[in-house]
Amino acid sequence: MSLQLGDTVPNFTQASSTGEIDFYEWAGDSWVVLFSHPADFTPVCTTELGAVAKLKPEFDRRNAKVLALSVDDVESHKGWIGDIEETQSTQLNYPILADPERKVSDLYGMIHPNANNTLTVRSVFIIDPQKQLRLTLTYPASTGRNFDEILRAIDSLQLTDNYQVATPADWKEGDDCVIVPSIKDPQELKQKFPKGYKKVKPYLRMTPQPNK
């Protein structure tokens, strides 16, 4: 299955390190970051899972739940969690799905046969509260992910869902935003962007972040 942006992601029920998870029920009305790992006891993934555990308060602040997946079983996960907590100096505070039969991996297209026909690539899926896929990132097994970038992307998605702006290159929370091109009426611009805006080009208009 090839999921594309805007698709409703499929539900599943799967064992995890914290018990069985019905994905839709577990997600509730939160955003979700689902991220996959090639296998347990892999070095880069160990650092990633620790990094996400330390950042979990930041995900919580954005109403975003985090959910990892690895293709080994629950007992293996439990052993790995001990290593993660020991080496990364943190407590693992979110579930790891156990997917030894590749059920969820296949459902979400996490296995790329030309990269490796048995291991999941390092996929990231950002899913909104309506269960729609809003962003995907795919990394090779050798390259660790930047979870600050994933938080930045959630900030952008949540901002642009609520205001008629887009975020420019390298944007971060508090920076100026781009007014969407569809707004052209001067009165509408004045009403929606009372802080004013700078017209760099007719199609490129910058305004302070509306909710700051």
- Residues annotated catalytic, as ranges: 45
Cross-sheet strand order for the sheet of 198-201: 165-166, 177-179, 204-207, 198-201
Give the length of the chain: 212
User: Residue 15: what residue type?
Assistant: A
Asked if 37 and 140 touch (Cβ cutoff 8 Å), the reply is no
Q: Which residues pair with 96 in a beta bridge?
A: 68
Asked if 180 and 166 touch (Cβ cutoff 8 Å), the reply is yes
Q: Tell me which residue has tokens 């969820």.
A: 104
